[in-house]
Structure 1
Amino acid sequence: MSIATHSIPFGLVILIFLLALPACAFAGFHLGSHERNRDPARYTEGKMPGEASLGALLALLGLLLGFTFSAVLGWREASVSAVVEEAAALGTAFLRADMLPEAEGRPLQQALLGYARTRIVPSGYHATRENVDAFVAHSTEAQAALWPTTMAALTPEVPAPVSTYVAGGITEVLDAHTRRVAAASKSITSGIWMLLTFAAGSGLFIIGNRAALQGRRLSWRTLVFSLVLTAVLVTIEDLSRASDGFTVVPQTPLVAAVADMESALGTAALARATPRP
């Protein structure tokens, strides 16, 4: 599975839609004006072509937007759930490691803390291919130390039920990574984006064209419609981006889990350093 990337900055996507969709309406209007001036008798009232095709195109556009919005909303919810599940798995594994003798359990807890820190996506993170590869490589390096550290901690002196309990927590952490990668790999293909953009642009083009053929000016309603379409498309793109849109996948559960781990290790270190009376 490959984590989804976004090569075009989010701000540029918004600008493209804001300019391209109204431009389609204006292009259709100017073409219609040219056709009407060339043969005005052809476009008399009651003989306007294209009404059925426009209605069908707008209905198809509505279906495409609805299905796509529903899909990306589901992907966003899956990504949020994956972060929560991973934070819970890390916290559980950390607490289970505390059941081991200190000499064996403390290195495992420190390894879990180091791994958890690599799982937090920083604010404003731009998911280019280079950034994603670097993030995954750093996290995978920390992850690779978990199982060897676990095996070293589960000495023969550790009771078998405790060993099973601790090992189960670590395997859940590893499984949480797989689920999070699966959620992050969902994205809208370039073909779907081309289809959405083409359908939206074509609808606005025909609306502008029919206005000119009917001898009317391009009204503010067309501009409002283009802005609404832009807002819907931008929202779809925003939901498909986990870290650099208007709404991002919150990292609060992981941040809280790391803070709890740091607090627990700091408290344990302070307890060891405090001399007993």
Structure 2
Amino acid sequence: MTPLILQRPALLLVVLIVVLPLVAWLGTSVLHRYFPLAEEARENYKIVQGATLTLLALLIGFTLSMAVSRYDQRKNLEEEEANAIGTAYLRAELLGGEAAARTQALLARYLQARIRFYVVHDAAGLDEINRNTAELQTQLWATVRDAAKAQPNPVMALVVAGMNDVINSQGYTQAAWTNRIPVAAWTLMILIAVFSNLMQGYGAHGQVGRRVLLLVLPITVTLSLTLIADIDSPRGGLIRVAPLNLMSLAQSMPANP
């Protein structure tokens, strides 16, 4: 389970903006006092420090790429889900009579439930939406199943296949929204960020100009990690996937019970 701090990017921002500058200050005020850096060792220290900062930059870039790819996946699946529902709505006319009207009405309700899935924030509301979605899927499948049993022909097979795509697309979307950057990767990246800021403060001791980095580096790293957490958090961040295709589909339906 993803820790709360990674689900709330604002909370991560507050924690890091306090911790990382504090760690840099500890490096320049405390660590240097007990383990002073000799001038002859400064060259080797710069090599180690540069390697640490390079590793941190690579991890941030790699993790950002992971977060963006997951965000793009969620957007693409929203589009695919809208296409699947729209196709199933049109194919439902092939059922004819009361079954067609019932299926289209259920699909319209199902579409509204899927839109709410994308915009809800609280866990209780999400649980209710998931239960409602499962119930609607059961009713939709029962409707097309009974029609296919009554008339087992290629036309009914087409309707059943369309409904199967609707149910599958919801499962793919659900999986994509729970697919987050592993906690182990976050732990490693934050630990390296802490050590990088500690080394930055340690090496900046006694150099007035370089002490500016005691704020620049922690703030830069904090903003970078917060951006990654924001993109990777489907509900807790500012950057979210909006159900634009689903809402456009809802507006295009002739009837929306």
Query: TM-score, normalised to structure 2's length?
Result: 0.88
Residue correspondence of structure 1 range 42-81 to structure 2 within 5 A: 43=38, 45-48=39-42, 50-81=45-76
Structure 1 residue 228 corresponds to structure 2 residue 215? no
Tell me which of 240, 243, 264 is aligned to 2:232.
240
Q: Which runs of 5+ in 2 are unaligned?
A: none
Residue correspondence of structure 1 range 15-54 to structure 2 within 5 A: 15-35=14-34, 43=38, 45-48=39-42, 50-54=45-49
The structure that is helix-richer by fraction is 2
Any idea what the Cα deviations from partners look like across 1:80-133, whole Å, max 9, x if unmatched?
A: 11111001100110011123323220001111112222112353614x5x5544
Cα drift, residue 23 of structure 1: 1.4
Any idea what the Cα deviations from partners look like across 1:203-222, whole Å, max 9, x if unmatched?
A: 0111101111xx22462233
Query: Take 1:73 and 1:61, find their aligned partners in 2: how far apart are those partners?
Result: 18
- SS for the counterpart of 2:219 is helix
Query: Take 1:135 and 1:247, find their aligned partners in 2: how far apart are those partners?
Result: 22
Residues 111 and 149 of structure 1 are in contact (CA less than 8 Å); yes or no, is this contact kept in structure 2?
Answer: no
Counterpart in the other structure of 2:121: 125
Cα drift, residue 6 of structure 1: 5.9
Structure 1 residue 199 corresponds to structure 2 residue 192? yes
Cα drift, residue 255 of structure 1: 1.6
Residues 18 and 230 of structure 1 are in contact (CA less than 8 Å); yes or no, is this contact kept in structure 2?
Answer: yes
Residues 108 and 153 of structure 1 are in contact (CA less than 8 Å); yes or no, is this contact kept in structure 2?
Answer: no
**Structure possessing the higher radius of gyration over alpha carbons:** 1
Cα drift, residue 200 of structure 1: 0.6
Closer, same or farther: CA 226–178 of 1 in aligned 2, 3 Å: same
Cα drift, residue 226 of structure 1: 1.6
Aligned length: 252
Structure 1 residue 260 corresponds to structure 2 residue 240? no
Residues 24 and 205 of structure 1 are in contact (CA less than 8 Å); yes or no, is this contact kept in structure 2?
Answer: yes
Cα drift, residue 162 of structure 1: 2.1
Tell me which of 112, 137, 145 is aligned to 2:131.
137
Give me the identity figure in percent: 27
Cα drift, residue 145 of structure 1: 1.2
Query: TM-score, normalised to structure 1's length?
Result: 0.82
Q: Which amino acid aligns with 2:70?
A: W
Query: Take 1:199 and 1:98, find their aligned partners in 2: how far apart are those partners?
Result: 59
Counterpart in the other structure of 1:275: none
Structure 1 residue 87 corresponds to structure 2 residue 82? yes
Q: Which runs of 5+ in 1 are unaligned?
A: 270-277
Q: Which moved more, 1:200-209 or 1:236-245?
A: 236-245
Q: What is the root-mean-square deviation of aligned Cα atoms in Å?
A: 2.4
Q: Which amino acid aligns with 1:166?
A: V
Residues 82 and 176 of structure 1 are in contact (CA less than 8 Å); yes or no, is this contact kept in structure 2?
Answer: yes
